[in-house]
Amino acid sequence: MSLHAACVSRKVLLAWPAGGEELAVFKGRLEGLAELTCLKSRAELLREIRDAEVVVSSRLPDEAILAAEKLRFIQAVSAGVDSFNFELLRERGIMLASAKGCNARAVAEHALALLLALAKRVTYLDREVKAGRWVPWTGETYLEDLEGKTVGIIGYGRIGRELARMCKCLGMRVMAVKRRPPEEGRDEYADFVGGPGDLERVLSSSDYVVVALPLTPETEGLIGEDELRAMKRSAYLINVGRGPVIREEALYRALREGWIAGAAIDVWWEYPPSSNAPSRLGVHRLENVVATPHKAGWTRRARLRCLKFAAENVRRYLLGEEPLNVVNYDNPY
């Protein structure tokens, strides 16, 4: 579906059936610079990508990249770009840019919502009431106060800092792990910001551990048996980063055997159409787990922020300017 009939030789492909508000974001910024085309279905991808110079998408299969004869720039509409084949893009001289930071607040809010759901036992209480059982007022049914508790944030980028700000407002003590921590070891939101070598200290000190890390060769499997055993038995683990940062089998055992009290997970090890989605071991079915289907950043406001950033960045590229958030394939994060 061609949306710009002028004689423009450059083609920008939106790799989803964009319409209405989403389409207007791109039309308003790219008018006169390129022919704007959007897919009616994924089946059209291999045909439409052949003559596209720019593709806007959060993932592209290798076969599509190989079919793209003129592709020079990919703009993701997400912060994470781990679904792309960096080596293939490098070989073909294709630039990739992320939309990191655009949904940071939405993801941080979701992380806080999961933390609150664990502290206040929301899903358990909801199930009991719907089953006709009134939970008694006993010592075993106490809910948790957050004031004075410690949250450890593993991955202190834009999402982590935004979450730290929110937790600080609730009177929580904030500790964080960052690849390159500040020299002073703290900042305006975190009482302690350490480096990778401080991971065990943060894990063992925290009542709630929030993972907000991207998936890289360094972070894959970072949280395993040793790290989970370092946590308090009363502590909770929350993951809004990427599923494989946590070792699935180790977490399953930790939850079943009581190494930790529970978990809340938005990002998984498997995704549809895999028959194992979201967890081949059934982590999502455990009663001490709160599960959401990778929706942390999926708010209307965050989506529009990502699309507006993407459109502006494509415009920069078409005008010959340096795009923002270009991925360094040797050091993607």
pLDDT at site 7: 43
Taking only the tens place, the pLDDT of each residue in 288-319 is 999 999 999 999 999 999 999 999 999 999 99
For residue 278, which of 261, 295, 291 has the smallest C-alpha distance?
Answer: 291
pLDDT at site 331: 81
Domain 11-102+300-318 is found in CATH 3.40.50.720: yes
pLDDT at site 5: 44
For residue 158, which of 212, 199, 104, 195 has the smallest C-alpha distance?
Answer: 104
Ranges of each domain in the chain: 11-102+300-318, 104-291
**Residue appearing with tokens 């970072």:** 222
The two structure tokens encoding residue 197: 């070598």
3-state DSSP assignment of residue 237: strand
**Domain 104-291 falls in which CATH fold?**
Rossmann fold (3.40.50)
127 pLDDT more than 90: yes
Amino acid identity for residue 73 in this structure: F
For residue 154, which of 224, 100, 106, 256 has the smallest C-alpha distance?
Answer: 224
120 pLDDT more than 60: yes
Mean pLDDT of the chain: 95
pLDDT at site 19: 85
Domain 11-102+300-318 and domain 104-291, same fold? Reply is yes
Taking only the tens place, the pLDDT of each residue in 246-271 is 999 999 999 999 999 999 999 999 99
Taking only the tens place, the pLDDT of each residue in 87-105 is 999 999 999 999 999 999 9
Report the predicted TM-score, pTM, of the whole model to 2 decimal places.
Answer: 0.92
Taking only the tens place, the pLDDT of each residue in 181-214 is 999 999 999 999 999 999 999 999 999 999 999 9
